[in-house]
Amino acid sequence: MKSFPLFFLAFFILHNLFSQTKSKDDLLKIEIQKKISPFLKNSNLLKASKFYFEKNWDSTIVYTDKVLNLSKGNSHLNNYTHFFRGHSFKNKKLNNEAEIQFKQISKDFEFYYIVKMYLGELALINKDYEKAISILKELTKLSNEKYSYIKRKNILNNIGISYLLLKNFKDAEIYFKESIKNEKDTIELIGNYINIANLYYERYIDNIAIKHFNRAYNLSKAVKLLSNVSNTYDYQKNKDILTEKERTAFNMSVVEENRKDFEKALMYMKEAQQWKDSLNDQNKIYAVAQKEKEFAVQQKQNEVDILQVQNELKETQRNIFLYSALGLFILLGIAVYFYREKVKSNKIIASQKETLDELNTTKDKLFSIVSHDLRSSVNALKSSNKVLIDNLESKNLTALENLLQKNSSIVNGAYGLLDNLLNWALLQTEQQYFYIDKHRLFIIAEHVSYNYQPLLLEKELSFENTVSKKEVIYADQESLKIVLRNLLDNAIKFSKPNGSIKIYSRNSSEDYCDLVIEDTGLGMSEETRLKLLEDSVLLNKKEHEDVIGTGLGLQLCKSMIKKNHGKFDIESELGKGTKMIVSLPKTPLNG
């Protein structure tokens, strides 16, 4: 048999998912009205529920939005509000928005199993069949009481559809046959026969597939349209009947075409087109009726609004004298408030002035030390350039190479100092972009250390990065790179030729991952180590006078680690090397 178009089955899913009888809908409506009655003092929820039960989805969305904006903190109220919004978005085919609303409903919600039913439906529509099966299977274990509001057979049928679309024909057949047992609803029976036909067709059992397509067609022929359509339920019933008549006739057209009986195929195709035209005509008639109904409702609403405005005007006139008296008390209260605020402001200004004086002292000290180091670097570069010119004239290449390397080191040191100064200034003035996100620690360490390979080779230092590739931390990537650059700079700066530098990770607690930068360099005394860890120390006296540095880089590191909710520690012995330890959170922290 030639392939049936795939939309046969997909159309059935979208059209019949979790369809419910009028009586079940009415029972659910009554139960929900009973449950929300304590909350109907909220005028916005009252309007939202009214529009929800009238199936006016747009107005439901508008008023539930007002409920969420004005009524916060009541979880039960919020559950019903999200339920109304999710169902409204689902009926408007805004599936992503519907799923967002349903997921905000807590599991203690009285009708959470119906929420699960809708989430299963959305998963099926979104073609996430495994997820749909997982959700819907939970609903097959509900009590009979809860099946008062949903149909178990439809849940079984949709599990079967999910298995069918996953090509799991064995399980699909089990659920389809279970869903068809004792089925009395002709429309749903037609859909079930088409599903079973598709199941056998997908397994190339064409004779049984055609048999079920015939059954579905014959059933659809026997179903009569309702002659008096007076409400939404009747309109939906007729729409379902016309849809099934069109779909079964179309299926038979394809079947006969595959049998090479083109005359019958054409006959069925014409019949399908007639049912399709009838369905379109009914939709147009219903649309006009809905517009007329909406216009009538709007007219009535306008009258109500006018009366409401008149009542509000009278209420305002009655209260105007009361407001005048209250106004005098309010003015007195405002005067007292501003007096107290002025006293409080004076205290804050005095405290801020004290803090500002401290910051200015720190700034002056910083600029003094930084300018001294920059001037020393420039003077060294100036002196070196004179010697460079002399050696250039004598063409002493060995001396020239040494001088150029020395100049490069001086320039790199000055550049690093200026870069740290800029980052420190941005951090102090809160102008630095800062975004904490999930990162793999190994990638950041590898990226930063790669840029130091030439410097490591020049100083004949061995380097090893053994950070675990599985370690995940939460930090701002750019500030973490600045921290690593400064710590690597220090490790190289304080290391002797032929030494070694290692970067590795370790887990000292469940909440933090330690990143360790270890060198075999000069080390430091215990007194210096403790001073470097003090929060109050900005710039520190150098323990090794032959190494250029202001201490600004380490202070910048401590500030940025703290902003990343991390911890900093140092392990060192004079002459035996140093371990700089940065502890970073494994999970996102508030603040």
What's the pLDDT tens digit per position in 433-448? 788 899 999 999 998 8
């790199």: which residue's tokens?
412
> Does 39 map to a domain?
yes
Please name every residue paired with 515 in a beta bridge, in sequence order, or none if there are none: 505, 582
Q: What mean pLDDT comes out for the span 214-221? A: 84
Residue 29 lies in a domain: yes
Instruction: Return the SS3 of 46.
Output: helix
CA distances, 556 to each of 328, 423, 526 (Å): 55, 8, 21
Q: Angle 347-353-356 (CA atoms, 0-180°, nearest 5)? A: 140
Q: What is the mean pLDDT of residues 204-226?
A: 82
Strand-pair partners of 503: 465, 517
Residue that is last in its domain, among 150, 174, 209: 150
**In the 8-state DSSP scheme, what is residue 395?**
T
Segment 116-141 shows an average pLDDT of: 90
- Domains held by the chain: number: 2
Query: Model confidence at 58, in pLDDT bands (50, 70, 90)?
Result: very high
134 or 547: which carries more pLDDT confidence?
Answer: 134
- Helix (H/G/I), strand (E/B), else coil: 56: coil
Whether 337 is in a domain gets the answer no
DSSP letter for each residue of 473-532: EEEEHHHHHHHHHHHHHHHHHTPPTT-EEEEEEE-SSSSEEEEEEEE-S----HHHHHHH
Find which of 231-235, 297-301, 318-322, 565-569 is predicted with most confidence, using mean pLDDT.
565-569
> CATH no. for residue 534?
3.30.565.10
C-alpha 377/C-alpha 301 separation (Å) is: 81
Helix residue ranges, H only, 395-430? 397-428
User: pLDDT at residue 261 above 90?
Assistant: no
CATH code assigned at 86: 1.25.40.10
Domain termination site, one of 150, 177, 206: 150
Domain for residue 387, yes or no? no
Domain end residue (candidates: 121, 150, 179): 150
Cα separations in angstroms, 124 against 17, 94, 168, 179: 9, 14, 15, 17
Question: Does pLDDT of 554 surpass 90?
Answer: no
Total Cβ atoms within 10 A of residue 116: 19
Are 213 and 197 spatial neighbours (Cβ–Cβ below 8 Å)?
Answer: yes
Q: Is residue 499 situated within a structural domain?
A: yes
pLDDT for the residue numbered 369: 53
Q: Residue 563: inside a domain, yes or no?
A: yes
Encoded amino acid at 247, one letter: R
Helix or strand (DSSP H, E) at 355: helix 262-394
pLDDT of res. 86:
92
Give the integer Cα–Cα distance in Å for 59 and 61. Answer: 5
Q: Is the pLDDT of residue 489 over 70?
A: yes
> Above 60 in pLDDT, residue 103?
yes
Q: Is residue 25 part of a domain?
A: yes
Contact in structure between 265 and 257 (CB atoms under 8 Å)? yes
Q: Mean pLDDT over all residues of the chain?
A: 79
pLDDT beyond 60 at 267: yes
> Looking at 66-75, 80-89, 215-224, 331-340, which range is the least confident one?
66-75
State yes or no: pLDDT of 12 exceeds 50. no
Can you give the residue range of the structural domain that contains 133?
20-150
* Dist. CA 584–CA 467, nearest whole Å: 13
Cross-strand bridge partners of residue 449:
none
Residue given tokens 């309109």 in the structure block: 235
Measured CA to CA, the distance from residue 425 to residue 214 in angstroms comes to: 80
DSSP 580: E
In a domain, 525, yes or no: yes
Indicate the helix (H) or strand (E) that contains 463.
strand 462-465
Average pLDDT on 266-279 reads 86
Q: Which tokens in the block code for residue 261? A: 């009986």
Element (H, E) at 568: strand 567-572
pLDDT value of position 94:
92
pLDDT at residue 17, as a whole number: 40
DSSP 193-244: HHHHHHHHHHTT-HHHHHHHHHHHHHHHHHPPPPS---SHHHHHHHHHHHHH
DSSP-derived 3-state class of residue 177: helix
